[in-house]
Chain A
Amino acid sequence: MSQTFLGLPTRRRTTDAADEPFGPVPHPQEPLRWGDDFPAAAKQTLKNDQLRRNLGHATQVIRTKRAAVVGEVPDWEALRDAGSAVKQQVMAHLPDLLQQLEENVVARGGVVHWARDAAEANRIVADIAKAKGADEVVKIKSMATQEIGLNEALADEGIAAIETDLAELIVQLADDMPSHILVPAIHRNRSEIRDIFLARMGDAPPDLSDVPRELAMAARAHLRRKFLSAKVAVSGANFAVADTGTLAVVESEGNGRMCLTLPETLVTVMGIEKLVPTFDDLEVFLQLLPRSSTGERMNPYTSMWSGVTPGDGPQEFHLVLLDNGRTDVLADEVGRSALHCIRCSACLNVCPVYERVGGHAYGSVYPGPIGAILTPQLTASTGGVSGHHDPNASLPYASSLCGACYEVCPVKIDIPSILVDLRAREVDADRSSRGVDPWRTAMKAAAWVMADGDRFALAGRAATLGSGLGGRDHAISVAPPPASAWTKARDLPAPPRQTFRQWWQAEHETTPEHEEGAR
């Protein structure tokens, strides 16, 4: 059922039963499309006081840190300009750059695979793991592998994918879904995390407290055994340098270094948009990303590697280049700059909508403002932008268009403009998909009324009859149909007792000389 018009659409999807005791969110079939549509999901998450407290605290802390470290960079705006322009160049020359990257990775001993979609990428990774005889792979936190549901696909093949980032481990143990790009378990507090570890980790000390240091040390002990024995690691990539074949992973905990260094085989899954043309371009992004993301001058660890280094690190390296909807985004003249995103999550932390509803309400592994423009476009081929019954088509409405996301974006993605463009297309698609459209009918009627002065005056006088309907705040909260379609989503201001024309006439009839003088 749909009531789409200016306000918030209300499509509903069925959700599987809650995964007790920890997961209110079950694992979705589609990592880019799960649960209720945004308005319905937001209504649910807004009832969760704990979530709002956790998020309010977290976003405020990161916002403050980011502002401080960005403030100390004198050429921040010049870096943003450069970052934005480099990404424009990447998109414009993507076919050449991808082939250049492939050439250089192969020349340095790597193997390059191409994947049209999630299933193909998952197949490639599973086949590599099987060829190595691995029934367990260690994983670095990666948005690309979340997007393709790699862990679930590997599980179907009998391969356990072990998340090694602390937050991802928490999410995985709880059978939950991530709610933030950078800090995926931000919706959990320390006592919940202790309970999750005690119930699900298997080797957590029974006297484990909820002190973050103790929890982190429990994860360290648990994962070290995995790191030392793993044969295959899977990672994403923050950047890939076309002219050198260099891959870069930016992290904090050292789990990334463990995965990138210790196993014999490394598989990196990256979206085709993650390129930079030259090694020197890293000097821009390695300044923009950490300060925007964690609010640090530099993240604790960054690893870079080019193919295989004999005697150091994995001796077998596979790079999987993933499309999975990205070319649809690239084809959109307005929306393609969503591909410039470097996944810093600064836009989440400043968004007043995200701060209140949390990541799960977006029904995608990409939440927040960037998710609201990226998710619909990535799923365009299955109706994400224009699908009448697609929950993703409601995501562009998950914004007040305040523009804070654009202000903080390190690569200057104009998220508000893309949101408006996507809304327009959703409305257009809705219009063409309906027989009788009350909204369009109303607009047509309004156009007829407004086309003629006398008709407009008459309509204005008629409207003043409704002046008594408002409450003390002159707002109508509940109106009969068809106006109910509007008041369901927001208040309708009560009409004034007098129209502007009536007021003008009254004013100027008493002082007609003014009117004469004006002419």
Chain B
Amino acid sequence: MSDARTEVLARVRAALGQTGSGTTPSGKVGTAPHPEPVPRAYRASGEHAVGSPEVLEQLVDRLVDYKAHVHQITADALPATVAALVAELSEPQGGIARSGSDNSPGPELSEPQGGIAPPGSDNSRGGRVVVPDGLDDAWLAALPAEVDVVRDSREQPLAAADLDAVAAVVTAARVAISETGTIVLDGEPDQGRRAISLVPDVHLCVVRADQAVQTVPEAVRLLGAHPERPLTWISGPSATSDIELDRVEGVHGPRTLHVLLVG
């Protein structure tokens, strides 16, 4: 045990009035606090059932409010929707100001050898999609053959630079919260490593209707079953308001978030 550990703990005890612990740095010995018991009068759950039409309606409203693109579809339509959104990637993106000296030339469809585009590249690459290796293959069934699907896993992870050369990522989700428009990924095999839903510029996230809860406490208690899993809570695309509080969507994370709400 280090000296600092012993001393910091002794100071904390002294601050709380536990005698025989010495003093705090300014020579104080505090008094024992009398904390009130925690009142849990807040809502532990919402008034609407998991996956109910009310919850879904609210979820869509809040997602759209934070500039996510929402596609409410049936399970049957999922593969075609994924294919259509991936096809959009190779179309030129209008309106996004590009800057920096790293502008590589357009879509790199001319690189079919399974090779990886050079690092430092920031452009959407039409045609290359990364998926976690536990993703349901059926979701990708409608993708045309020329789309290069790269599988990523904890055992065989893509390097960050390789991920940077990928246009989009398709993942599942663990839970969604309607009141806040939040989707949570917990790193299980159908959601993948945290990096894959971060570095590509477009995120296609598939959420089942029965995964949508109304409130934050409902989600936290569900996630609490596996607190050791790395969690990523996502509410819309990345954003900043650091310049004159003018909101700009898409800084470092994916600039486009598609939520495919199934069911």
Binding site for B on A (CB under 8 A): 54, 57-58, 61-62, 74-75, 78-79, 81-82, 85-86, 88-89, 91-92, 94-95, 98-99, 108, 113-116, 120, 164-167, 170, 183, 185-186, 189-190, 193, 203-205, 208, 211-225, 227-228, 241, 244, 246, 252-255, 257-258, 260-262, 272, 279-280, 282-284, 286-287, 290, 294, 296-307, 309-313, 321, 323, 325, 327-328, 330-333, 336, 380-381
Contacts and interface: CB of A to CB of B under 8 A. Distances in A.
Contact of A254 (B4, B233, B253): B253
Contacts of A75: 41-43
B187 A312 contact: yes
A193 B243 contact: yes
Contacts of B236: 300
Given A203-B101, A253-B239, A328 B234 contact: no
A331 B4 contact: no
14 contacts: A75-B42, A82-B41, A88-B36, A114-B8, A115-B8, A165-B242, A166-B240, A185-B243, A203-B101, A261-B194, A279-B223, A297-B235, A327-B15, A331-B24
Interface string B226-242: 01111111111111111
B53 interface: no
Given A189-B244, A252-B240, A283 B39 contact: no
Interface stretch (B82-90, B140-148, B155-163): B155-163
Interface string B196-223: 0011000000000000000011011101
Contact of B231 (A81, A283, A303): A303
Interface in B87-123: 96-102, 119-120, 122
B242 A170 contact: yes
Contacts of B37: 85
A114 B38 CA distance: 29
A309 B221 CA distance: 21
Given A95-B13, A165-B242, A331-B14, 19 more contacts: A78-B43, A81-B39, A98-B9, A98-B12, A99-B9, A114-B5, A116-B4, A120-B4, A217-B97, A217-B98, A244-B227, A254-B251, A262-B160, A280-B224, A284-B42, A300-B239, A312-B195, A332-B30, A381-B27
B8 A253 contact: no
Contacts of B43: 74-75, 78
A216 B248 contact: yes
Nearest to B218: A283
Contacts of B223: 279
B71 interface: no
A116 B246 CA distance: 40
Nearest to A213: B248
B182 interface: yes
A287 B9 contact: no
Given A185-B242, A300-B66, A333-B31, A227 B160 contact: yes
A252 B182 contact: no
Contact of A327 (B8, B193, B243): B8
Residue from A57, A170, A228 whose CB has the most chain B CB atoms within 10 Å:
A228
Contacts of A164: 252
Contacts, number: 316
Given A228-B120, A297-B180, A300-B236, A82 B39 contact: yes
Contact of B2 (A58, A114, A204, A381): A114
A57 to B, nearest CB: 7
B16 interface: yes
B20 interface: no
Contacts of B5: 114
Given A82-B39, A89-B38, A91-B33, A114 B251 contact: no
B100 A222 contact: yes
A79 B42 CA distance: 6
Nearest to A124: B4
Given A95-B16, A301-B234, A328-B24, A224 B240 contact: no
Contacts of B39: 78, 81-82, 85
Contact of B235 (A108, A190, A203, A296): A296
Contacts of B230: 303-306, 309, 312-313
B99 A221 contact: yes
A275 B171 CA distance: 32
B48 interface: no
Given A300-B236, A327-B8, A311 B38 contact: no
B3 to A, nearest CB: 9
B248 A298 contact: no
A332 B252 contact: no
A115 B164 contact: no
